[in-house]
Structure formats: structure tokens, C-alpha cells
Amino acid sequence: MDSYDVVIVGLGPAGLMAARVLEKNNINFLGIDSKKEIGLPLKCGEGIREDEFIKFFGNTDFKFVRNKVKEHVVHHKNFKRSFKADFLQLDRPDFEKFLAGPVKDSLRLRTRCNNINIKNNLVEIKTNKETINAKLVILSCGCDYKIQKKFNLVKKKQTFFVCYGGIYKESKLERDKFHAFFDDEYMGYLWVFPKDKNTSNIGFGTVNKGINVKETLTALLKKYGIDAKQISPYAGIISCSGPIKKTYSNRLLVCGNSANQVYAGTGEGIYYALESGILAAKTAVKAIRNNNYTENFLKTYEKTWKKSFGKLMKAGMIFFDLQSLATKSNKLEYLLKKPSDKELSQFIVDGKVPLRARIVWIIGKILNKI
Ligand SMILES: Cc1cc2nc3c(=O)[nH]c(=O)nc-3n(C[C@H](O)[C@H](O)[C@H](O)COP(=O)(O)OP(=O)(O)OC[C@H]3O[C@@H](n4cnc5c(N)ncnc54)[C@H](O)[C@@H]3O)c2cc1C
């Protein structure tokens, strides 16, 4: 039976980033994923904040960085405004292949984790092929909550953005901006992220139940006069419930989407996945060096990610709640118009909630409207 110090379950941005840290620290680890090829299939808008990307990778001179944008344009009916935020448009499959490069010999694909048993002296990872033993598991398998539920790490029923989109031939919208289209009928938005001169990553996500997202996307493109022809499709879900109750247990650390580390208001999650993957792996390295896998020891992981981006997680949930409230009470335009450019940018990019927004949110909570 195979045995490792650490097994990483799931090789998206979180798992791959964790693998890179373990590799650098000479840890005996294995990364497994059920998919056939790293990076595929694509299920993402592929936008990432630029400053943090540079913090991780030093610069933006990579072939998989396909576009740089400085502004986000918000559209609602005939109203349009923009605010500053430096983002990059990636080719995410190529980005993940780049992440996997230095660790590829320690990755095993077509290997699905079906169950995890935590014992006193080890963890058993039951896969579709074999049982693998480890001292510690990093769980980074995206929006799959089976294991988290088993170990009582998820607090409540979750809400998801159900999304449909793809890569489209589209060249009419300004190429150096991300575009978000809001609509009174749906809690969610349509995004158009220009990838290069002729193509854009376009998608629509909503929390509204019983909606055909594919048909709605087509209808919204028509409504907003966006001339786009699909090249390849994708579908996926994003949790907007905020981080799970607990992101660690004995011999277990949970990161990225598996921990719901997503800005709930927009569905942005790549940056948080990368950062939490690093932080989980750093904690794993310490656990191995100290031969201590107790949850008491591992809880430092939760402290570190909260310190790094906990504020943004909270702001994202407030943004989500306010958007829900505004959609329900026909005040969406007010919500989108009211903040200054600086406030809007700080709310979404820095996690700084404008005072007015915080007051409305608190009143909404007290009156049970949110
Ligand atoms: C439609 C859509 C658009 C989005 N757009 C953006 C965007 O523009 N910008 C942004 O920042 N974020 C975006 N997000 C969110 C972002 O994609 C996620 O937050 C990010 O992918 C999280 O990375 P992760 O590594 O935690 O999980 P994932 O990327 O989901 O990776 C999880 C991996 O685990 C594997 N796996 C799952 N179950 C198992 C199992 N049982 N055994 C083994 N392997 C398993 C999967 O195959 C997958 O490779 C979007 C999400 C969706 C759905």
C-alpha cells in the first residue's frame, strides 16, 4: 500500500499551489485528481487580480496571461459605470499546466477519492483504484463537500451560483475592461471578460432556482446586444455561503473551493485558492517537522488564512446579501449607482465595506430581510 507524508486531494489552483510548496520543502507527498488532464475541462471566467498574481509569480510575462484590464464596467439597463481594478485574464488550462510543471512527477490523475478515514496514526484515502495512506491530507477537491460533511466541518445548507458560459467569438466590447451586466430578474450577473482581440470568456451565474442558465445567457446576450458566437461551453457552480464552519480537523486541512473560500458577491475564487493552498501546505510542513497532526496544532492554518483574506470573505458575503436585498426590493440600480468609484473598488478588491452599506446590511439582518 502506498504511503506518503501528505496526500493532496484535488489538483485545481489550491491543490497545485500546495503541491509546489510541499515540493520546495522536500516533503514526501502525492497529489491525486479524478480528471484526465491538468487544467481541463475549463469551468471558469479566468479573471484574477493582478497585484496578488505578481506577489505569487513575480511578474505577468507568461503566455497564459492573455489580457490585462484596468477597469470593470457595471451595466444595468441603460445605466453604465466603471471602477478601477487591475485584473488579468488567464488561459486557465495553461496556467494550471504551468503550476503543475515542477511537481508533475508527484501527481496521479484519473484517481478519485471516494472516502477518507482518519485513524489515530494515519489517514486512509480510499480511491477508485487503491487505498493510499498518509500522515495528513490537504483537501482541495472544489465544490465537493462529502468529506467536509463527514467530519462536521460544514455549518449550514449552502447556496450556489449555478453558472453556464464558455469561450466566445466576441470583439465589440472594450478589450481592456471586464464587463458585468446586472438584471432585475436575477440575483447574479452576466460577465464578459475579453481574452484577446477576438475572443471573450462569457458566462452567467444566478442563485435563482428553476432557471435554465443556458437559455438565460443567450437571452441576456440578445437583450444587451452582445454579438457573441460560442466556441466552447462550460458549466459549474460556485458557493456563495461564505467559508465553511471549520477548515481543519485531526490530520486534515481544507482549502480553496472545498472550504468555500470565495468572494461570495462575485464568485471570485482563484486568488483565494492559490493563497489558501500555500497556507495549508506551510502548516502541513510544520506538522510534519513537529510530528504533530492534531487539530489543535493544525488550527493555525485557519488563523493564517483569516488574517490573509478573512476580511474579503466577510465583505463578499455582505456584498452578496445587499445584492439579494436590492434585487428583491427593486433597488438594484440604487445599489450599483450609490457607492463612489473608490468605495466600489475597495468593497470588491480590498474587502473594505462602505459605512452606508454596513448600516443597511445590519438593519436588513435585524429586520430579517437578509
Ligand atoms: C463558471 C465559473 C466561473 C468562475 N470565474 C472565476 C473568475 O473569473 N475568477 C475567479 O477568481 N474565480 C472564478 N471562479 C471560481 C474559481 O473557479 C474557483 O474558486 C477555483 O477554481 C477554486 O480552485 P480550487 O483549486 O479550490 O478548486 P477547483 O478548481 O474546483 O479544483 C478542484 C479539483 O479537484 C478535483 N476533484 C474533485 N473531486 C475530487 C475527488 N473526489 N477526488 C479527486 N479529485 C477531485 C477536480 O477534478 C478539480 O481538478 C469561477 C467558477 C465558476 C464555476
45: nearest Cα among 329, 320, 262: 262
Q: Could you tell me the pTM of the whole model?
A: 0.97
Summarised one tens digit per residue, pLDDT across range 182-205 is 999 899 999 999 999 999 999 999
Query: Is residue 29 over pLDDT 90?
Result: yes
270 CA: nearest ligand 1 atom: 11
pLDDT band at 282 (very low <50, low <70, confident <90, very high): very high
Residue type, 133: N
pLDDT band at 78 (very low <50, low <70, confident <90, very high): confident
Query: Is residue 1 over pLDDT 80?
Result: no
The DSSP result for 17-62, as a single string, is HHHHHHHHTT--EEEE-SSSSTT-S--S--EEEHHHHHHHHS-S--
State residue 155's pLDDT score: 82
Query: Which stretches does DSSP call E strand in 91-140?
Result: 107-108, 113-118, 123-127, 131-139
- Give 122-129 contacts, CB < 8 A, sequence gap 24+: 122/3, 122/251, 123/7, 123/251, 123/252, 125/7, 125/9, 125/32, 127/32, 128/34
Query: Is residue 368 over pLDDT 90?
Result: no
Summarised one tens digit per residue, pLDDT across range 337-364 is 989 999 999 999 999 999 989 999 999 8
Query: Is residue 157 over pLDDT 90?
Result: no
146 CA: nearest ligand 1 atom: 41
Whole-angstrom CA distances from 81 to 14, 30, 334 are 33, 47, 12
Q: Whose CA is nearest to atom 19 of ligand 1?
A: 269
**Ligand 1 binding pocket, CB closer than 6 Å:** 9-15, 32-35, 43-48, 112-113, 140-142, 144, 163, 165, 203, 236-238, 256-258, 262, 267-271, 273
Share of the chain above pLDDT 90, in %: 89
State residue 2's pLDDT score: 85
Q: Locate all alpha helices (DSSP H) within 88-244, ordered by sequence.
A: 92-100, 146-150, 213-223
Q: Whose CA is nearest to atom 22 of ligand 1?
A: 257
Other residues' Cβ atoms within 10 Å of the Cβ of residue 44: 24
Whole-angstrom CA distances from 184 to 49, 83, 107, 231 are 28, 21, 45, 28
How many angstroms is it from 174 CA to the middle of ligand 1?
A: 27
State residue 367's pLDDT score: 86
State residue 369's pLDDT score: 81
Which residues have CB under 8 Å from 14's CB, separation 6+? 140, 255, 256, 257, 258, 273, 274, 276, 277, 280
How many angstroms is it from 192 CA to the middle of ligand 1?
A: 19
10 CA: nearest ligand 1 atom: 34
State residue 370's pLDDT score: 76
pLDDT, mean over the chain: 96
State the average pLDDT over residues 1-21.
96
Where do the domains of the chain lie?
Answer: 3-315, 319-366
- Chosen CATH of 3-315 out of 1.10.3720.10, 3.40.50.1100, 3.50.50.60, 3.90.190.10: 3.50.50.60
State the average pLDDT over residues 64-92.
95
